[in-house]
Amino acid sequence: MSTAIRVTDLARTFPVRGGLFSQPRMLRAVENASFALPSGGTFGLVGESGSGKSTLAKIVLGADQPTRGEVRFGDRVFGKETRDSDRRWRQRAVQAVLQDPFGSLDPQMNIGDIVLEPLRIQRRGFARDALEKRLDELLAQVGLPAEFKRRRPGELSGGQRQRVAIARALVLEPEILVLDEPVSALDVSIQAQVLNLLKDLQDALGLSYLLISHDLAVVAFMSSHIGVLYLGRFMEQGTREDIVQRAGHPYTHALIAACEPDALDVQAIGGEIPSPLAPPAGCVFHTRCPCARDVCREDAPPVHRLSATHHVTCHFPLTSKA
Ligand SMILES: Nc1ncnc2c1ncn2[C@@H]1O[C@H](COP(=O)(O)OP(=O)(O)OP(=O)(O)O)[C@@H](O)[C@H]1O
Ligand code: SF4
Ligand SMILES: [Mg+2]
């Protein structure tokens, strides 16, 4: 599989002020993140709240700049484009579907105008009938009846609103979609329908997805490749099989255990996430890790390359014969 987007050594630090006169402290939201989004595939980013998923998503979307590192597509480095045509390419080719379909759709606009709005923003002139035709085609692609174009977001269910958000993301014929928690606001029964729609669209249109979710089950269902984030660092990365069948990191094991039907959600992982303003020394996961030993409290763990695709950042990666 060729690579659509390559992220290299990316870091994003936010200065955070405690009080009016205190020195700002540095919050390391993302540290040294590197991964490749395969062309036509899905890279799934999974991690608990505050692990840096949306920070990474915003940088890939061009809505934020990294403190260090780069995001590139072939020879185009995002945010450093020298040619206008490259900048315009990115604004068209990389689109987003975000978590809250209600918050992101203007309640005063009708669905037709919402879906076509990116064309207006990009000042693409089209004849009225060509626009109508494109709108009908997009609504059909996302499984909504054509008459929905005259409705407003408030008249639609959560799942239908998310289909509208997907249609709007597709109107500029993108190559890459950043999906930040695209189903977490939806009922579980509706989640599967929207995920299946996203899979069908990926096959039909050859799209590459950067999928973000706190739910490993969602990420495992959708992704060809998975990265597990904790406090802004990759704990483990690999193909779906590397992560689901041969997980090497204690944190990934805990996330998998949390997905078991009888698990009490994330309580399978004990303890609280430490403050990102004061991450633990050594391995940042040591305060919650059942396998932690003395060295974990002092030294940052190395990256073990268990195979060409499978990387684990841990002093004592768990290896299985599976
Ligand atoms: N603009 C900002 N200024 C200061 N801190 C920020 C800013 N944006 C994010 N952060 C911090 O960076 C860390 C990562 O946040 P981020 O939103 O990327 O996490 P997330 O994994 O998307 O979490 P969630 O699952 O809750 O959406 C958090 O500690 C957050 O408070
Ligand atoms: S380095 Fe140590 S504390 Fe960190 S995950 Fe591995 S065993 Fe646990
Ligand atoms: Mg987020």
Tell me: the pLDDT tens digits for 195-225? 999 999 999 999 999 999 999 999 999 999 9
Return the biggest CA–CA distance within the chain.
69
238 pLDDT above the threshold of 50: yes
Backbone angles phi, psi at 168, to 5 degrees: -65, -35
**The predicted structure's pLDDT at residue 320:** 63
CB of 253 closer than 6 A to ligand 1? no
Q: Which of these, 1, 31, 40, 37, lies nearest to 13 by C-alpha position?
A: 31
156 pLDDT above the threshold of 80: yes
CB of 276 closer than 6 A to ligand 1? yes
Q: Which of these, 51, 56, 55, lies nearest to 288 by C-alpha position?
A: 51
**The predicted structure's pLDDT at residue 83:** 86
Residues in contact with ligand 2 by the CB-under-6-Å rule are: 250, 283, 285-286, 289, 291-292, 296, 301, 314-316
Report the C-alpha gap between 311 and 36 in whole angstroms.
13
**The predicted structure's pLDDT at residue 261:** 63
What percent of the chain clears pLDDT 70, i.e. is strictly above it? 95
Tell me the average pLDDT of the chain. 92
Report the C-alpha gap between 159 and 193 in whole angstroms.
8
**The predicted structure's pLDDT at residue 263:** 52
* Alpha-helical runs (H) found in the chain: 53-61, 84-93, 111-121, 128-141, 158-170, 188-205, 216-222, 240-245, 250-259, 294-298
Fold entry, domain 3-313 = Rossmann fold (3.40.50)
Instruction: Report, as an integer, the average pLDDT of 94-123.
Output: 87
Report the C-alpha gap between 88 and 233 in whole angstroms.
31
264 pLDDT above the threshold of 50: no
CB of 99 closer than 6 A to ligand 1? no
